[in-house]
Amino acid sequence: MASNAPGLPTVAIITTGGTIASKPSATAGGVTPALSGEALLATVPGLASMAAVALQPLADIDSSQMTPEIWARLSQAADAALARDDIVGAVITHGTDTMAEGAYFLDVSLQSDKPVVFTGAMNNAAAINPDGPANIVDAVTQVLSENARDWGVTVTLNHYVNSARHVRKTRTTNVQTFMSGDAGYLGYIAGG
């Protein structure tokens, strides 16, 4: 599915589930993926004025259920999208539990050198303060930025940009969870 935004660059957005697309579930206990790709993108203010979107739902799972086989499919889907001349880069929404591993997998397996940004959320979509929409805006901003070229695959949450080679999740509840240790951040996104 592609959104119709004439004159705007096109960004591929590949969704895989995770907290960013989850809501509380009385039957399952805790939160479970509940938003389709379209419903997730509908929560992102201003997205339609930033870029055209080529949406590709790939999975709808908690990232604890991710496997190398799913990441291989994700890598193939990203390469296929990035091979299109009209696609300038890709955003991958992913659960945070295995996001660092998934980003590293794609960093070493992708054939394209177009920007690829993993993003997600620490707060679910029904929380009083969901962080997913702002993280998607930051990820699309990064894909579109000339200042963010040749960084390989990155993980971008809470405004901070981390290299897939160094990133790790450090907290289970804080929105500032991803850090890159002594390597530091690649960048910071503020106000677009």
What is the C-alpha separation between 10 and 12, in angstroms, rounded?
Answer: 7
Any domain includes 3: no
* Token duo for residue 176: 């500032």
Instruction: With CA atoms as reference, report the closest residue to 18 among 104, 99, 134.
Output: 99
Any domain includes 2: no
What is the C-alpha separation between 73 and 71, in angstroms, rounded?
Answer: 5
* Token duo for residue 51: 């870029």
**What CATH number should be reported for the domain holding residue 175?**
3.40.50.1170
Taking the alpha carbons at both ends of the chain, their separation in whole angstroms is 25
Q: What is the pLDDT along the chain (192 residues), one digit of tens a residue?
A: 555 566 899 999 999 999 999 988 777 667 877 889 999 999 999 999 999 999 999 999 999 999 999 999 999 999 999 999 999 999 999 999 999 999 999 999 999 999 999 999 998 898 999 999 999 999 999 999 998 888 999 999 999 999 999 998 888 888 888 888 899 899 999 887
Any domain includes 18: yes
**Residue from 19, 32, 98, 156 carrying the catalytic annotation:** 19
Q: How many folded domains does the chain comprise?
A: 1
Any domain includes 41: yes
Query: What is the span of the domain harbouring residue 134?
Result: 10-188
Asked about 19 being catalytic, the answer comes back as yes
Any domain includes 4: no
pTM value is 0.93
HSE-up of 78 (CA within 13 Å, CB side)?
32
